[in-house]
Structure 1
């Protein structure tokens, strides 16, 4: 009996080790997938605060919460099952879909740059003058959730690409973890950003003299933070989008551009071995971003031609 009990305990311990290893694998895969999707995540965090512009402060957090719920619904009810079906029945579609998603990111980033250069007009401000507050809120929430569906689709596709070679059940867990963590992270940060000026005003007008400079600093930092987020988000979209296209070209054995980028990165990294890893990443990201900008610029130019006609 004791030997049987020890054998059972040994089996349980073995199962526990396997389960722990699986959890570690899932956590590592989720972390890698989230990192790969960083460009889209940053852009999502940069875009969303604009949906509460023109609304009263008491409605800002409820609207962010509604958008966050819609984002999680997009990911869990629609995009996660679609990603698993794609992985199970048509995995060969993933590389071209990732390239298409990368091209779309590059196109969006190029359009942002073009609008910034031209001094684009914010049509959302026109709507504020003609709609009731409830209509504005519904319009903004609906628009944000539709935009989120595209961004979430890109996030889930990128995440799927990092776990395409693991069992389906592990893919499902990783994608679900990524969906929840990214949604909570993005909209938690967005909630802080949209209330940062209110927090700053509260501190600046409070009785604690030591906190007044911090409050004024938060108020003044708000527009600069939004501008920085937008810039970083655009750069990250070009880096991620260009990288997806470059990786796809390599998958299809079209190695002219991938080899040129990796060769340049290796050459620069070899000049300073102590910083080789960072320099390799920096050159890869920069050249992938420039390649993505070229692709996005071409798509934007073609789209403009079709729009004129």
Structure 2
């Protein structure tokens, strides 16, 4: 009996060691995958605040909470199983799906930029909505829809960075990345949109330093939101254009991707002291140019289609 108990304890210890090693593998893989997706995470954080601009300050945090919950559902309930199924059964479909998502991001950004000339129906529709609850529903829906595309890019990047490991472990890593990124992004977004309230609270304190900082935060808030709206639009063009350029390269249409790469390489070589930064900026800028062209074409075509009233 004692021998059987000792053997059982040995088995439990072995299983515990295996579980600990697996946990280490999951943690390391999640860290690598999350780092690779950092660029899209920044874009996500820049895009989201524009969806609460113009709404009641009292509803800002609840709206961010709804968007965060929608983002978590996007990642865990839709994208995680879809990514794993695609990787196993239809890896060839991943790139076309990503390219379609990239084209959607380009369209959303281009429509916003070209709204004064095209008569952007999304903005016009929002302007005519008198019911705050309906406007909030529309904004949340738009944010979650855009998040789906950005989250898809994050999850695919993370999936591509994973080493060979069992499917269950890949699922755990992707879930960990999705949860960590969602909490991080929407935590930052919540701080950004409540910056003026934080400033007001500081301005009412007795400390002269706190008052100065508080007034500075309040004054900076409108400028920051406008800047983030511009950054968010640019980010959608950059991410969308880059997805499409990478997809073209994978399908053998290499002329444009190679041109962008060569221009960025030569620009970086001209400024070797900051070559990495220059390479990134040029790549992002040229990808954004591709994005605005594709987005403008899609927006133009869609605005030519008669709409039902």
Q: CA RMSD in A?
A: 3.2
* Correspondence list, 1:111-126, <5 A: 111-115=111-115, 123-126=125-128
Alpha-carbon distance in structure 2 between the residues aligned to 1:182 and 1:122: 33
* Correspondence list, 1:128-167, <5 A: 128=130, 131=131, 136-137=132-133, 139-162=134-157, 163-164=159-160, 166=162, 167=165
Alpha-carbon distance in structure 2 between the residues aligned to 1:267 and 1:250: 20
Match of 1:69 in 2: 69
Match of 1:101 in 2: 101
Alignment equivalent of 2:51, drawn from 45, 48, 53 = 48
**TM superposition score normalised by structure 1:** 0.82
CA offset at residue 191 of structure 1? 2.0
* Correspondence list, 1:251-270, <5 A: 251-270=250-269
Residue 284 in 1 paired to residue 283 in 2?
yes
After TM superposition, where is structure 1 displaced by more than 4 Å over at least 4 residues in a row? 8-19, 116-123
Match of 1:31 in 2: 35
Deviation readout 1:216-250 (Å, 9 max, x if unpaired): 21111111111110111111111111111110000
Match of 1:174 in 2: 173
Alpha-carbon distance in structure 1 between the residues aligned to 2:213 and 2:41: 33
**TM superposition score normalised by structure 2:** 0.82
In 2 relative to 1, CA 111–15 (structure 1 residues): closer, same or farther, beyond 3 Å?
A: same
Match of 2:129 in 1: 127
Deviation readout 1:9-32 (Å, 9 max, x if unpaired): 999878855653442122111221
Aligned length: 296
In 2 relative to 1, CA 200–298 (structure 1 residues): closer, same or farther, beyond 3 Å?
A: same
Alpha-carbon distance in structure 2 between the residues aligned to 1:308 and 1:59: 32
In 2 relative to 1, CA 199–159 (structure 1 residues): closer, same or farther, beyond 3 Å?
A: closer
Q: Aligned to 1:67, what secondary structure does the other structure show?
A: helix
Match of 2:228 in 1: 229
Gaps of 5+ in 1: none
Alpha-carbon distance in structure 2 between the residues aligned to 1:119 and 1:277: 40
